[in-house]
Structure 1
Amino acid sequence: MIMFKCFICQAVHATSQCLITHLRIGHSFYPSTRFKLICAQDDCRRQFSTFAGLKKHLVCVHKSCQSGDAETSESFQADFHILQNGTEVAGTSVVQSPDAGYFENNGSGQNITNTKHICATIVAKLHGSGMANSVVSSIISDLEELAGGLHSQVQHEILSAVPKDNPVRSTLEKGFENFENPFVSFNTETKRMKYFNKKWGIVEPVQKNLGVRFDTRRNKNTGTYDQVPVKDTFVYIPILETIKFICRNSYICELLSKPCESKERYEDFCDGSYFKSHPLFSKTHTSLQIQLYYDDFETANPLGSKRGVHKVGALYFVLRNLPPKLNSVLMNIHLVALFHAEDLKKYGFDPILQPLIDDIKILESHGIDLPFSSEKVYGTICQITGDNLGMHGIMGFAESFSGRHFCRLCLI
């Protein structure tokens, strides 16, 4: 039997559809303009941006792969013929590689789980694109209605083709009654976060208090405006938990375990004298090199009357251990903290940076357990970057650029 090879783990599968299911569920791989699907059949290395393109290529170009798909089609037709004659069809099993046990299909339960997983990935991609929760909920509502309409249409077509005196009709009716719309599990934000946390895990942000201020709020009972105490807060995403979450990816662990190769010319942080003389980086090649980035952004119209009122400051980090090609991708730039820019003027950077500093001290002195190393992994901050205004603010310099020497780099 012709087998199809996975370009990631080299596992082989009986049909092109089994290979695509393996990539979707086994590797959670979803192609895009950056992440291409590669044909691993023989010496072919063509790249594709969609699963449909890869499947069409396998069927049209690699002629021999049609035999596997034809056998699957014949098997399905035989099962449906038996079902029409009133004989119960036992669960089928997909031909698989020894390490692909999750493709065993012992009934409808596994199919429902796989369908939910695919729907969850679609919803996660919507969230990852930066859409608002209200837009995501609206799209899911439409998809839920679409799935329900398709279910009703299929139910009507199939039941109308099966005579009422056929004993299998009751089984089909029961199956349709037990149909569960996969998008029902994602139609609210609470359901989505609960499923994501259970399926993939989530690093939850932690709200920290800065102080209390008095704000004017309208009293609904009296209709007057009163002075009420309001807490000034910011959110911190624990950096140690984020690093552990990143290292759940085996490919990232493989890259982090490789030593940094120093070159004769300056191309990366590890080529400089600071890295080579650092007491941590120069001795242990698995030490984590954390680069921070700080900047403010406007959430409202930057040209409107509300500019500055809703400005938010953000801290991000990347791991310099990873190659620049990966660090340039947005998914590898991770959030550390979010705070109101007005609170920064009032409280300063010290209370906002304190949770981060505490975690960095733990990473420097005690280390953390990561899958790619049998020993504790240590690390520290190697670089802080930002624009002129952001760097002057975080370093405590004057934030006015009208002085005689207003640039700390070139002294212009």
Structure 2
Amino acid sequence: MKSYDNHISQHMLAGVYPSNTSMISNNEQCSQSSGFQIDDDIQTTNSCSEESVNSIESEQNDEDDLSPNGHGVSRCLQMNNNCQDIHEQYSTVHPAEHFKSQAAVWVLKTKECHKLTTSTMTSIIEDVTSFNQTVLSKVEMAVNSALENAGIPISSIPDLSEIFNVDGIFGRPFQGLETAYLQEKYCKQNCCFVKPTPILLGTVQKWKGDGPNRKYETIKETMIYVPLLSSLEALLNDNLILTLVTQEHVHIDGMLQNYYDGQAFKNNDLFREHKDGIQLILYYDKVEVCNPLGSKRKIHKLGVFYYLIGNLPAKMRSKVHTMQLVAIVKKSYIDKYSMNAVLKPIVQDVKKLETGCTLSLKKDPTVIFGTIAAVSADNPASSALGGFKEGSQAYRFCRQCYITLGEIAHVFHEDQCDIRTPEQHKEECKQLKKDHSLSKEFGINRKSALDKLKYFKVASGALVPDIMHDVLEGVLQYETYSRTYSRETLHRIRHLKQHN
């Protein structure tokens, strides 16, 4: 159980900072590239100009942008990697707090980007503080010497001794951030923290303890949910993200560049009415946190749900920083309480988004529309989300059509198959509720909770194919082998003809 809790805590860290550790103070939210703004007297400069943002779409194939020295997007995606470029104007009101916020950015960025343990990060903080104090003392000696040589009395400069105080804000920049507890406490109080919510799935009665202390207890079985709307609100409060999400898509006739150009977008009633509606791409997979060959396999196996915003340019969607945690739950709980029970809180939030949800963006109430545009997962996971048969050996194993296991060897084109439709799927789910023996004939286990959404249907092709297993690890290797073998055979035949 300990490994499960530790894994949850790590994923919670990924989910509760939806702006990718873009820190947000009590007074003002900030972008990933522009650092902090603690109060009105502290000014920051956004390193991503409007020109660099507008050039993203026109430079989709420019590989230079992927390097740390590239243009605006890659720079802003590196978790405030250019905090040193911020032009600060220190106020006399909260200089210590402003300096501390910069130190918090550095701690979080260093720990998460380099995947450091808590003990390692604590050791680094101690060493950096010691080095900082040593340098500060040397600088103080040099400044005092220079002032004496210039004939300037040190006492005539007010607050000079306080600036070089090794126990001050410059000597101890990480004061209040020395431990993981203090770092988390500071983030909860000053940053854009979205608190994960435990959701009760059910209870079980178990004996706990040994000997005279043995007693019967009620154990709560829960999932961890990061509220989708709160996470989305925090993400959209990032200046760069909001600009990219709301900018107009440039369409090139005859080219399929992204979701905007496909029929799924054009036929979606919500996106027809709200062109800038939020396109949520949901991702689900299972992860084994223990040794897959050990005795604890499957016991602590987890199901994890993530989302990303499809409105973002392709370059940003491929970055891990833009993928946000939605939920994490034990795989055994999914099997016990059903996938629909786990999807319930996600569906409830998406329903609110479909009808228009008011979010606070830059302190202004803004109505945002959106829905799930697509679901990305491997074949078993995607079928589980849609309520279809999950095994590859099922009679009707495909979530896109009605092909049977016996037809798979000689049916290779979509035109030869009966494609599933939302209307037909709805009718089949009604019949299945009355007679579950039809499950094999329909290739359906249950009606999915995702079908409760108005603008997303599991039988509309939105459960996208698993390209890695179906193509890269599937037919592609056989196709490549077949073509290679055919060329070798033709070459040998020609060689024999030449010699005969």
TM-score class, shorter: 0.5 to 0.7
Q: Which runs of no fewer than 5 residues in structure 2 stay unpaired?
A: 1-32, 37-43, 49-64, 73-79, 409-500
Q: Which residue of 1 is the match for residue 102 of structure 2?
A: 118
Q: Where does 1:177-326 land on structure 2 (aligned, <5 Å)? A: 179-180=168-169, 181-219=172-210, 226-262=215-251, 263-326=253-316
Q: Where does 1:351-362 land on structure 2 (aligned, <5 Å)? A: 351-362=341-352
Give 1:273 shift: 2.0
Q: Could you tell me whether the CA contact under 8 Å between 2:303 and 2:328 is conserved in 1?
A: yes
CA deviations over 1:227-281 (Å, ceiling 9, x no partner): 4322111111111111111111222222222233444233322222222121111
Give the match's secondary structure for 1:243. Answer: helix
Give 1:306 shift: 1.4
RMSD: 3.8
Distance in 1 between residues matched to 2:159 and 2:394, nearest whole Å? 83
Counterpart residue identity of residue 241, structure 1: S
Give 1:302 shift: 2.4
Give the match's secondary structure for 2:358. Answer: coil
| 2:349 is equivalent to residue 365 of structure 1 | no
Counterpart residue identity of residue 386, structure 2: M
Change (3 A) 1:409 1:342: same
1:168 pairs, out of 149, 155, 179, with 155
CA deviations over 1:63-84 (Å, ceiling 9, x no partner): xxxxxxxxxxxxxxxxxxxxxx
Distance in 2 between residues matched to 1:310 and 1:273, nearest whole Å? 41
Distance in 1 between residues matched to 2:125 and 2:167, nearest whole Å? 21
Change (3 A) 1:224 1:194: closer
CA deviations over 1:336-358 (Å, ceiling 9, x no partner): 10111111111112222111111
Q: Could you state the TM-score of these two structures normalised by the residue count of structure 2?
A: 0.57
Give 1:332 shift: 0.9
Higher relative contact order (CA 8 A, sep 6+): 2
Q: Which residue of 2 is the match for residue 36 of structure 1?
A: 69
Q: Which residue of 2 is the match for residue 396 of structure 1?
A: 387
Q: How many residues align?
A: 330
Change (3 A) 1:269 1:158: closer
Distance in 1 between residues matched to 2:392 and 2:291, nearest whole Å? 24
CA deviations over 1:203-236 (Å, ceiling 9, x no partner): 11111111112345435xx576544322111111
Give 1:150 shift: 4.4
Q: Which residue of 2 is the match for residue 81 of structure 1?
A: none
Q: Which runs of no fewer than 5 residues in structure 1 stay unpaired?
A: 1-21, 40-48, 56-99
Distance in 2 between residues matched to 1:50 and 1:242, nearest whole Å? 22
Give the match's secondary structure for 1:103. Answer: coil
CA deviations over 1:377-396 (Å, ceiling 9, x no partner): 21111211200111122122
Counterpart residue identity of residue 367, structure 1: C
Q: Could you tell me whether the CA contact under 8 Å between 1:144 and 1:184 is conserved in 2?
A: no
Percent identical residues:
25
Distance in 1 between residues matched to 2:254 and 2:360, nearest whole Å? 31
Q: Could you state the TM-score of these two structures normalised by the residue count of structure 1?
A: 0.67
Q: Which residue of 2 is the match for residue 85 of structure 1?
A: none
Give 1:126 shift: 3.1
